[in-house]
Amino acid sequence: MPPVNDPAERHTLSMLVDNEPGVLARIVGLFSGRGYNIDSLTVSEVSHASHLSRITVVTTGAPMIIEQIKSQLDRLVPVHRVVDLTVVGKAVERELALIKVRGKGEIRQEALLIADSFRARTVDTTLESFVFEITGKPEKIDQFVSLLEPLGLVEVSRTGVAAIGRGPEGM
């Protein structure tokens, strides 16, 4: 069978792009137009002086597809550089989430205990709710959210993954 049917892998791609109108649409459009997955996406300007933004995309696909995604991104005119952080080595990956829980009495106690053990911070409190802030790997946030689920989880807002390679070299 064609190698496209090899098992899917999860990769984190990081790219530096010109911070110009439409650049995000170009990248997102490439993923949707060619049928690739976006599991998570983060974008922000990283150098105001040189108008550069850094985009981090977590995607899944067979190795041949991942290679294809990287080359397709690389040939977009405003893209300076694409690095597959998963190939380069274990990258540092972090995500931030804000999580709102609603409840009274014992349930509040329980939620605070769980938040404490995950080193989440309480950033908003009312008599019947908390908003927690948590930073970590996506799996840790998944786990934290699933523990809060039965305790009155109201809503979750997540940033998506930001990632950077380990060691002294830049991308």
Partner 1 sequence: MMREMTGAEMVMQALIDQDVEHMFGYPGGAVLPIYDAMFHQNQVKHILVRHEQGAVHMAEGYARSSGKVGVVLVTSGPGATNAVTGLTDALLDSIPLVCITGQVPTHLIGSDAFQECDTVGITRPCTKHNYLVRDINDLARVMHEAFYVAQNGRPGPVVVDIPKDVQFAKGMYVGPENIQHRTYQPRLKGDPEKIKAAVEMLAKARRPVLYTGGGVINSGPEASRVLREFARLSGYPVTSTLMGLGAFPASDRQWLGMLGMHGTYEANMAMHDCDVMLCIGARFDDRITGRLDAFSPGSKKIHIDIDPSSINKNVKVDLPIIGDVKHVLEDILTVWRGMKAEPDRKAIASWWSQIDKWRARKSLAFPSSTRIIKPQQAIKSLYEQVKDKDVYITTEVGQHQMWAAQHFHFEQPNRWMTSGGLGTMGYGLPAAIGVQVAHPESLVIDIAGEASIQMCLQELSTALQFDLPVKIFVLNNEYMGMVRQWQDLLHGGRYSHSYSESLPDFVKLAEAYGGVGIRCSNPADLDGAIHEMLSVNRPVLFDCLVDKTENVLPMIPSGKPHNEMIMPDHPEALDDAIDEEGKMLV
Alpha-carbon distance values, 39 to 16, 28, 88 (Å): 19, 12, 20
Among 7, 48, 49, 75, binds partner 1 (CB under 8 A): 75
Q: How many residues are there in the chain?
A: 171
Please list every residue from 22 through 51 that binds partner 1, using CB under 8 A.
22, 25-26, 29-30, 33
Instruction: Return the biggest CA–CA distance within the chain.
Output: 60
Applying CB under 8 A, what is the total number of residues that bind partner 1? 23
Among 7, 49, 77, 89, binds partner 1 (CB under 8 A): 77
Are the beta carbons of 84 and 13 closer than 8 angstroms? yes
Is residue 170 involved in binding partner 1 (CB under 8 A)? no
Closest CA to 12 of 167, 160, 168: 160
Q: Closer to partner 1 by CB, 87 or 107: give it.
A: 87
Helix, strand or coil, per DSSP, at residue 138: helix
Q: Which stretch binds partner 1 (CB under 8 A): 35-43, 73-81, 125-133, 163-171?
A: 73-81
Q: Closer to partner 1 by CB, 71 or 122: give it.
A: 71
Q: How many CB atoms lie within 10 A of CB 75?
A: 9
Q: Applying CB under 8 A, which residues contact partner 1?
A: 1-3, 18, 21-22, 25-26, 29-30, 33, 64, 67-68, 71-72, 74-80
